[in-house]
């Protein structure tokens, strides 16, 4: 059995109401739910929340909210792993056990059903513990700079001052969209992905971290552009 979990608590300080704020005509949470539904992969799609308003939106767009998130896991200190373990623990108490889980973030409107299907296929074929989308850094991170309080700059890795770009290893960052994983090895390791994990490279156009209003506007522009080419 396969399960999709979308963690979406009510508190959001930088963007109030972020998880259900309108995004290109629909609550942003609706896009993650729709991608999960369109993938035809999951036996259940569950939203973990402490908010009645979020629960109402989740159910409206086809997800379940079978129980409320605990107060302990609704504060700023709860980790994603804490929330997932809570949901799977509650389901286990009801006799439900899942060998494969996809954690979809609620503010990832650029995720597609096709990417979810791709992750599932690779998880099975490669025997990974986890797999998730990654994005290539646009500039060599080995040449990253730091700045002191008095304004001086210096390289974080000065040994690469003269290293040619083509001689530096390619680096990626987590796209922050979803994680398809096997609960047993990941929970045992105490992290979302182990050393036996894979990545699906996606373009910068397909990903956007949303931490502020500028990020939100950029994500809407990317979504509209992608829609024109689909």
| pLDDT value for 76 | 85
| pLDDT in single tens digits along all 230 residues of the chain | 999 999 999 978 789 999 999 999 999 999 999 999 999 999 999 999 999 999 999 999 999 999 999 999 998 889 999 999 999 999 999 999 999 999 999 999 999 999 999 999 999 999 999 999 999 999 999 999 999 999 999 999 999 999 999 999 999 999 999 999 999 999 999 999 999 999 999 999 999 999 999 999 999 999 999 999 87
Q: How far apart are CA 55 and CA 60, in angstroms?
A: 9
CB 58 within 8 A of CB 6: yes
Instruction: Provide φ and ψ at 61, rounded to 5°.
Output: -100, 10
| pLDDT value for 230 | 74
| pLDDT value for 13 | 77
Closest to 144 in 3D by CA, of 130, 158, 131 = 158
Q: How far apart are CA 75 and CA 60, in angstroms?
A: 25
Write the secondary structure of 10-54 as one string of H (helix), E (strand) and C (coil). CCCCCCCCHHHCEECCEEHHHHHHHHHHHHCCCCEEEEECCCHHH
CATH 3.40.50.2300 fits 2-136+171-228, yes or no: no
| pLDDT value for 35 | 99
Question: What residue spans define the domains of the chain?
Answer: 2-136+171-228
CA–chain centroid gap for 128, Å, is 18
H helices, E strands: number in the chain: 6, 11
CB 74 within 8 A of CB 50: yes
Closest to 156 in 3D by CA, of 164, 147, 165 = 147
CB 179 within 8 A of CB 193: yes
Output the six-digit token pair for 218: 């950029």
pTM of the model: 0.95
Q: What is the pLDDT of residues 28-79, one digit of tens each?
A: 999 999 999 999 999 999 999 999 999 999 999 999 999 999 999 998 889 9
């Amino acid at each position: 059995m396969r399960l999709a979990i979308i963690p979406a608590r009510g508190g959001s300080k930088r963007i109030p109401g972020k998880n259900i704020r309108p995004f290109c005509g629909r609550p942003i949470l609706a896009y993650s739910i729709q991608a999960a539904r369109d993938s035809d992969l999951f036996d259940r799609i569950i939203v973990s929340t402490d908010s009645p308003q979020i629960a109402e939106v989740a159910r409206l767009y086809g997800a379940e909210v079978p129980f409320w998130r605990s107060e302990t896991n609704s504060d700023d200190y709860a980790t994603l792993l804490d929330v997932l373990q809570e949901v799977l623990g509650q389901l286990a108490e009801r006799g439900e056990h899942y060998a494969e889980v996809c954690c979809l973030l609620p503010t990832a409107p650029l995720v597609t059903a096709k990417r979810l299907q791709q992750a599932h296929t690779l998880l099975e074929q490669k025997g990974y513990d986890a797999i998730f989308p990654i994005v290539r850094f646009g500039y060599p991170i080995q040449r990253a700079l730091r700045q002191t309080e008095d304004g001086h700059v210096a390289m974080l890795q000065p040994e690469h001052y003269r290293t040619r770009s083509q001689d530096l290893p390619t680096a990626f960052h987590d796209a922050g969209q979803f994680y398809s994983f096997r609960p047993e090895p990941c929970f045992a390791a105490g992290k979302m992905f182990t050393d036996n994990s894979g990545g699906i490279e996606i373009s910068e156009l397909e990903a956007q971290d949303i931490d502020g209003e500028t990020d939100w506007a950029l994500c809407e522009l990317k979504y509209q552009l992608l829609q024109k080419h689909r």
